[in-house]
Structure 1
Amino acid sequence: LVGMHTAPGPVGMVAAGGGPMMAGSDQMDIVFRGVGGHGSMPQLAKDPVVMAALAVVEFQTIVSRMIPPHETAVLTVGSVQAGSAHNVIPDRALLKVNLRWFEPHVRERLIDGIRAVCDGIARTYGMREDQLPQVRLTGGSTPLVNDANLCARLAAALGKAIGPDRVLTNLPPVTASEDCQLLKGPYPEIPLAYLFVGVADPQVYSEALAAGKLFPYSPHSPDYRVDLAAVPFGTKVAGQVMLELLGR
């Protein structure tokens, strides 16, 4: 199984390294329930906005205080949704959370920590046991691990076609995630090679490095710019990979 993805590196470069390459991920919806009321009489309400806000802050200690420093974990709150009026305390608040991890036990620690934080805050604010926050996993993916032998084979073939200095084999793992590996289905033994192909203008990339940036822009950002020279280069990479796999 072979996959390819654009990367904000310079056109003409391709990464084909073996081992763990991309993190596993989980999407999570957390609903804090409270007691709604008028903003002028907060003592008669139980404010889920305050509970959710406290949770956002406390979540940061899960990674910094519960996960060993040498293990990778990312917890991001991407959305906070509650209420629609200036003077009304709503009866619920929604947090949308994203997790990144490489090891299953780290994933479990993140999820357990989130549940503990949410339940503790709700209990502190007087919510009954049947009114504790609802924590629901809504999707995700496993870590992406490249097969070392397959990647070495493809890197050698690509090196002959585009030059060995243009093939990176030591790219460190990134905490972005992918679902290409799920195409293996019930056959996890199928070897996988997931390649990254540079699409940035080389001059723009060099200027970014000179400015102290790792890349000129981030994936999925509105600033993402693809140099059209990447199209024929990516086609050449894909074609060379197929020829190698077909023994041509």
Structure 2
Amino acid sequence: MTATREAADSVLTGLSGIRNWQEDFYRDLHEHPELSHQEFATAGTVAERLRGSGFQVHDGVGGTGVVGILANGPGPTVLLRADMDALPVFEKTGLDYASTVRVTDADGNDVPVMHACGHDVHVTALLGAAQLLAEGAEHWGGTLVALFQPAEETADGARAMVDDGLAALLPTVDVAFGQHVLPVPAGMVGIHAGPFLATADSMRITVHGRGAHGSMPQSAVDPVVLAAMIVIRLQTVVAREIAPVESAVLTVGSIAAGSKSNVIPDHAVLQLNIRTYNEQTRTTILDAIRRIVTAECQASGSPREPEFELFDRFPLTDNDVDTTKRLAEAFSTFFGDRSIELPQGMGSEDFSEIPNGLGVPYSYWGFGGIDAAAFQKAAELGRINQDIPVNHSATFAPVIQPTLDTGTQALVIAAMEWLAR
């Protein structure tokens, strides 16, 4: 056994002593979720726990972000990140700690709130890892940064922290890590070197028509028909303009037009989501969307040019190859056959904004949150897609254990690979 592994094991001996508070904390956080940019109570609790573990704490970074710094003599600086925000989803898990929270969102709408993406797991695991590393400080040297980020779901929380002077708060960071709970068997840890998660762009398109009575369509330019033709034509972009060896997704997630069956409205709004792995493919798709929408508007005789708005852009998650190889070896040594290589995914994250803003290498991995027996049964029946809830689902609820243990262990192993004496 290597000295690094021995040091990591020594730090992790404290895991059994924190399970009770971690599990209670997780249930409470799951029951009391907060939307992006509204993570005030979560941030306050996080800051309190970090101070209790001896961290120097900066709060209110980028709005509600929290940064804990634990200096422990000479050595590298490792940054560990967790995201804190929840989603406007009505929870249907049936858990006794299910969320019943409703709040007013940024647009003034009354919405339900749920930790439907597992950020409550991320927060709990990082708090546990921070406590274990603080209590096991004799086994490592350097500086640990525990960063709790707001607003990942709106793709602007990481950038907000960077723009708010994150770098000035920190010593020179050597490497940054993040993780995400996934709909795979609990206890598994998976990693992928190079491009791992896709870029994502959301686009809002407004097309204009001419309103009229439903009985007099000859007097109208019908934006509903126009929007329908755009949706159909957009399905050809990936199929006919992107090389088959490239990965890309173009989804029309929302169409809004009109308010009554016998009224032809004067405009329609479409919302699109585009996911790619490189800038050339992204540019090709965005250009094709504008070309197709403009042409369909002209073909329909629209009285005004269409309007395009890009929002919620997620960057590419491109894991540093050398860093990820080193981390994969550490995971394999600790987790054995529970450590796997994950394929690329079309999901997206804004975590990379932080290491990119700091100019440091990074690696981002996934770990399982689904009951292993339930997953195996679904696999045997060929019903994984039907029976296993995924992130953002109203029924997504990671099993508490071994999910929390695994997430906590993975963070400690990653940190200790760089910090161990």
**Partner of 1:68: helix, strand, or coil?**
coil
Quick one: which of 76, 81, 94 aligns to 2:269?
A: 94
Please, which runs of 5 or more residues in structure 2 have no aligned partner? 1-175
Residue of structure 1 in register with 2:379 after alignment: 209
Give 1:102 shift.
0.5
Distance 1:119 1:202 in 2: 50
Give the AA of the match of 2:361: P
Quick one: which of 303, 307, 312 aligns to 1:139?
A: 312
Residue of structure 1 in register with 2:289 after alignment: 114
CA 1:186/1:226 → structure 2, altered by over 3 Å: closer, same or farther?
A: closer
Distance 2:310 2:357 in 1: 22
CA 1:186/1:228 → structure 2, altered by over 3 Å: closer, same or farther?
A: closer
Residue of structure 1 in register with 2:324 after alignment: 151
Give the AA of the match of 1:62: V
Give the AA of the match of 1:174: G
Distance 2:357 2:178 in 1: 18
Give the AA of the match of 2:250: L
CA 1:162/1:186 → structure 2, altered by over 3 Å: closer, same or farther?
A: closer
Quick one: which of 344, 347, 350 aligns to 1:179?
A: 350
Residue of structure 2 in register with 1:223 after alignment: 395
Query: What is the TM-score when the length of structure 1 is the normalising length?
Result: 0.93
Residue of structure 1 in register with 2:364 after alignment: 194
Residue of structure 1 in register with 2:418 after alignment: 245
Structure with greater contact order relative to length (CA < 8 Å, sep ≥ 6): 1
**231-240 or 206-215, which deviates more:** 206-215
**226-235 or 73-82, which deviates more:** 226-235
Distance 2:347 2:289 in 1: 21
**174-183 or 229-238, which deviates more:** 229-238
Give the AA of the match of 1:200: I
Give 1:45 shift.
0.8
Residue of structure 2 in register with 1:71 after alignment: 246
**Partner of 2:347: helix, strand, or coil?**
coil
Distance 2:357 2:189 in 1: 29
Answering whether residue 51 of structure 2 is matched by residue 51 of structure 1, we say no
Quick one: which of 52, 56, 61 aligns to 2:236?
A: 61
**16-25 or 209-218, which deviates more:** 209-218
Give the AA of the match of 1:148: V
Residue of structure 1 in register with 2:339 after alignment: 167
Distance 2:177 2:356 in 1: 14
Deviations 1:204-240 (A, max 9, x none): 1101211224562322112323111011221122122
Count of aligned residue pairs for this structure pair? 243
Give 1:154 shift.
1.7
Residue of structure 1 in register with 2:85 after alignment: none
Distance 1:18 1:117 in 2: 36
Quick one: which of 126, 139, 149 aligns to 2:301?
A: 126
**Partner of 1:174: helix, strand, or coil?**
coil
Answering whether residue 206 of structure 2 is matched by residue 31 of structure 1, we say yes
Please, which runs of 5 or more residues in structure 1 have no aligned partner? none
Give 1:161 shift.
2.4
Given that 2:192 and 2:344 are in contact with CA atoms closer than 8 Å, whether structure 1 keeps it comes out as no
Deviations 1:48-92 (A, max 9, x none): 111111101100011111111111110000100011111111111
Distance 1:184 1:101 in 2: 21
Distance 1:120 1:49 in 2: 16
Deviations 1:123-153 (A, max 9, x none): 111124xx12111111312211111211122
Distance 1:245 1:84 in 2: 59
**Partner of 2:291: helix, strand, or coil?**
helix
Distance 1:162 1:123 in 2: 59
Give 1:160 shift.
2.7
Residue of structure 1 in register with 2:162 after alignment: none
Distance 1:181 1:45 in 2: 48
Answering whether residue 393 of structure 2 is matched by residue 233 of structure 1, we say no
Give me the CA root mean square deviation: 1.4
